[in-house]
């Protein structure tokens, strides 16, 4: 019987295993060598950045070029758009909240305020993702929480994505009631605010849902431009909050909107959207 190996003997690295495919590893090293600072490189530069011999780097580049992942102009090699396919399988396996969360966390950190993502469900908005920074509402909000759409900035932003007929039908069935002394309950004025949100691409609601609460929202659209969710930043009311929201928060919110829509573009395609 062979003795058991001593626990003090380290296991051989996987690179020494017969299952390790060195040529695949080298090919991935070549792909990773290209970045923002090095969008195109010569064979010598690729060899230097990867630590591969020129012959090995050349074989990898030519193979990747044959497969359509690398292009060549003169002596310079560069990545093609086909490399995006390598990440699409992972992205399409995720849902919108998972895809949005990293950017929502960055948004919350940059503005030092809570941020949420909601979808429209009948008369309500439903929270599907949230990054809390501080509590600005008396009720606890989390994934699955519901709030009346008519009085919430995210609700109005989602309603702005409906066509005129669908919006008219929604308003005709809506129960509009005062939540605070600032709540807009007139259907015609509410329609005006929703259409204004549609035109300007954002919605700011001040103390209509709850006293002391302000919310600034933008839409999240799919590849066809359809509004599928709304993203907000919630803030406490104070003097000058409107100017602060529009000049300081809105630009960061729009950057996050663009990042999420870019990250989910293939997700919508994979769902046939």
The set of residues, in sequence order, having a beta carbon less than 8 Å from that of 230 and lying 6+ positions away, is 117, 118, 119, 125, 153, 154, 155, 157, 158, 217, 218, 219, 220
Domain residue spans in the chain? 14-79, 91-270
Reported as a pLDDT band with limits 50, 70 and 90, residue 121 is: confident
How far apart CA 148 and CA 14 sit, in angstroms, is 56
Q: Inform me whether the pLDDT recorded for 137 exceeds 70.
A: no
Position 2 confidence tier, pLDDT thresholds 50, 70, 90: very low
pLDDT of residue 180: 93
Least confident of 75-84, 129-138, 220-229, 231-240: 129-138
Percent of the chain scoring above 90 in pLDDT: 60
The band of 174, judged by pLDDT with boundaries at 50, 70 and 90, is: very high
More confident residue, 99 or 267: 99
- The answer to whether domain 14-79 and domain 91-270 are alike in fold is no
d(CA 139, CA 33): 50
pLDDT over 50 at 4, yes or no: no
**Span 216-245, pLDDT tens digits:** 999 999 888 889 899 999 988 888 888 889
Whether 29 and 49 have beta carbons less than 8 Å apart is answered as no
Per CATH, the number for 14-79 is: 1.10.10.10
What does the pLDDT look like over 33-65, one tens digit per residue?
998 788 999 999 999 999 999 999 999 999 999
Instruction: Return the pLDDT at 94.
Output: 53
Question: Which pLDDT score is estimated for 51?
Answer: 95
CB-count burial class (<10 Å; 0-12, 13-18, 19+) for 29? middle
Q: Which homologous superfamily does the CATH classification assign to the domain defined by 91-270?
A: GAF domain (3.30.450.40)
Residues in the chain: 273
141 closest CA partner among 129, 149, 153: 129
DSSP classification of residue 150: G
């Amino acid at each position: 019987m062979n003795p058991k190996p001593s626990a003090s003997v380290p296991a051989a690295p996987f690179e020494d295993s017969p299952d390790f495919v060195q040529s695949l590893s080298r090919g991935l090293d070549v792909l990773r060598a290209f970045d923002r600072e090095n969008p195109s490189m010569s064979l010598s530069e690729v060899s230097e950045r990867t630590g591969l011999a020129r012959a090995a780097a050349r074989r990898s580049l030519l193979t990747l070029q044959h497969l359509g992942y690398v292009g060549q102009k003169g002596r310079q090699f560069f990545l093609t758009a086909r490399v995006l396919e390598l990440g699409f399988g992972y992205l399409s396996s995720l849902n919108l909240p998972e895809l949005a969360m990293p950017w929502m966390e960055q948004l919350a950190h940059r503005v030092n305020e809570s941020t949420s993502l909601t979808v429209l469900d009948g008369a309500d908005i439903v929270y599907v993702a949230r990054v809390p920074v501080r509590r600005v509402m008396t009720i606890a909000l989390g994934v699955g929480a519901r709030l009346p759409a008519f009085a919430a900035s995210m609700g109005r932003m989602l309603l702005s994505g409906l066509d005129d007929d669908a919006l008219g039908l929604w308003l005709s069935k809506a129960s509009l009631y005062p939540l605070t002394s600032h709540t807009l309950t007139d259907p015609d004025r509410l329609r005006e605010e929703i259409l204004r949100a549609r035109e300007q691409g954002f919605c700011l609601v001040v103390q209509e849902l709850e006293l002391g609460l302000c919310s600034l929202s933008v839409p999240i659209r799919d590849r066809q431009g359809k509004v599928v969710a709304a993203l907000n930043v919630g803030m406490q009311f104070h003097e000058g909050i409107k100017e602060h929201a529009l000049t300081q928060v809105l630009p960061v919110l729009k950057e996050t909107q663009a990042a999420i829509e870019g990250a989910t573009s293939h997700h919508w395609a994979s769902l046939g959207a």
